[in-house]
Structure 1
Amino acid sequence: MEDFFINTLGTSEGIFSFIILPFLIFLARIADVSINTIRIIYVLGGRKMTATILGFFESFIWLMAIRQIFEHLDNWICYVAYPAGFATGILVGMMIEERIAYGKVIVRIITRKEVYHLLAFLSARNFRYTQVKAEGPDGHENLVFTVLEREHLDELLFKLKEILPSAFYTVERVNRAAESGTIVQETTRWSIASWLKSIKRD
């Protein structure tokens, strides 16, 4: 790579060593850490082929980055670019994960007000729900459970604030969902196996 920039493109050694190379290492770390985040999502979701392909590119990019580090051990800027890219990659990976919104979540809604309009909305959007009559410290309360795809969560919360602005709600990932005896989604809880697969060599 050094020969390409210096001999082919005519870049000076100083510019390559102190600007181009650290920048490329920085970008490589952002790419492989972001891919790692996405890969974990698909591993937990049971997408074996997708996770395998992502794992290949993740390892390949990491290998290219660490190779450049060892070839330029005397370049201190690379030592800054490498962890900076790793940290930035975590942020970028989290942003991508939010965009993908893969998996299911369970939303628990608690309110003392009537929930007719909320249930009508859930029914219209074909969201499965369960309503429970409950008692709290202040008397009668309505408890509504619903499980939905993460991509629809913002829509539900927006409607909830419009219909029941004072309602209390919680949101969490679904570990396992099943319907008619068929598993819809496997566990999304971190296991030791999935944790070991996600270990990064830093």
Structure 2
Amino acid sequence: MLENPLVMVTIILVVNIVYVSFFTIRMIFTLKGQRYFAAFISMFEIVVYIVGLGLVLENLDRIENVIAYAIGYALGVIVGMKIEEKLALGYITVNVISSDPDIEFTRKLRDLGYGVTSWFAYGMEGDRLAMQILTPRKYELKLYDTIRSIDSKAFIIAYEPKQIHGGFWVKQVKKGKIKKSGEKQEDAI
């Protein structure tokens, strides 16, 4: 079966996609501080890596194997990133500056279950409403859509916090308040 060049190229391609996907996921869990899960994934990662690399090294005289390895690596990066998007681990902090400090931006977001801290600010063109919103990454895109529906001209900056401690918000998220508020989103806006 491995004598067939097409089968060999396919196996190398698939093995490398799986390897790099594991690699990407392991790195994400490592960066998120989940060392035991990262170590568990690394066991599978290294087995797949050894098998794939072994197949290529045994057949270095066949350029299509090397090309399949390289293409599989590139596709593995894409697949790993897609998996990471679906997992959406961690939290995101979103800073929003609204050009209209009079709209009830903060209340609308809080009604949807988001933790919001707000303050008045002064920008180049006058008064502004500044907000800091913390949300699980899985709600990030929904939050952006909500912000744009309230103020299409809002200035948005997002980043991933390294550590979160204290506040009422963590308790609310654990209760699933944001997730349950999805049905109420149209009413609150």
TM above 0.5, one fold? yes
CA distance 1:148–1:114, change in 2 (3 Å):
same
Letter in 2 for 1:152: Y
The alpha-carbon deviation at position 126 of structure 1 amounts to 2.9
The alpha-carbon deviation at position 49 of structure 1 amounts to 2.3
The alpha-carbon deviation at position 30 of structure 1 amounts to 0.7
The SS at the match of 1:177 is coil
Letter in 1 for 2:112: R
- The separation in 2 between residues aligned to 1:156 and 1:106, in whole angstroms, is 11
Question: Where in structure 2 are the equivalents of 1:160-175 lying within 5 Å?
Answer: 160-175=147-162
The alpha-carbon deviation at position 115 of structure 1 amounts to 6.0
Task: Give the paired residue count.
Answer: 169
- The separation in 2 between residues aligned to 1:117 and 1:95, in whole angstroms, is 36
Question: Where in structure 2 are the equivalents of 1:75-154 lying within 5 Å?
Answer: 75-114=62-101, 116-154=103-141
Structure 2: give runs of 5+ residues left out of the alignment.
172-189
The SS at the match of 2:37 is helix
CA distance 1:115–1:62, change in 2 (3 Å):
farther
Structure 1: give runs of 5+ residues left out of the alignment.
7-12, 185-202
* Contact persistence 2:93–2:160 (CA under 8 A): yes
- The separation in 2 between residues aligned to 1:116 and 1:103, in whole angstroms, is 30
The SS at the match of 1:179 is coil
The SS at the match of 1:99 is helix
Q: TM-score, normalised on structure 2?
A: 0.83
- The separation in 2 between residues aligned to 1:74 and 1:44, in whole angstroms, is 38
Letter in 2 for 1:148: T
Report the counterpart of residue 43 of structure 1 in structure 2: 30
- The separation in 1 between residues aligned to 2:108 and 2:143, in whole angstroms, is 9
Report the counterpart of residue 188 of structure 1 in structure 2: none
Cα RMSD over matched residues? 1.9
Q: Percent of counterpart pairs with the same letter? A: 25
CA distance 1:178–1:97, change in 2 (3 Å):
same
The alpha-carbon deviation at position 116 of structure 1 amounts to 4.7
Letter in 2 for 1:39: R
Q: TM-score, normalised on structure 1?
A: 0.78
- The separation in 2 between residues aligned to 1:125 and 1:32, in whole angstroms, is 40
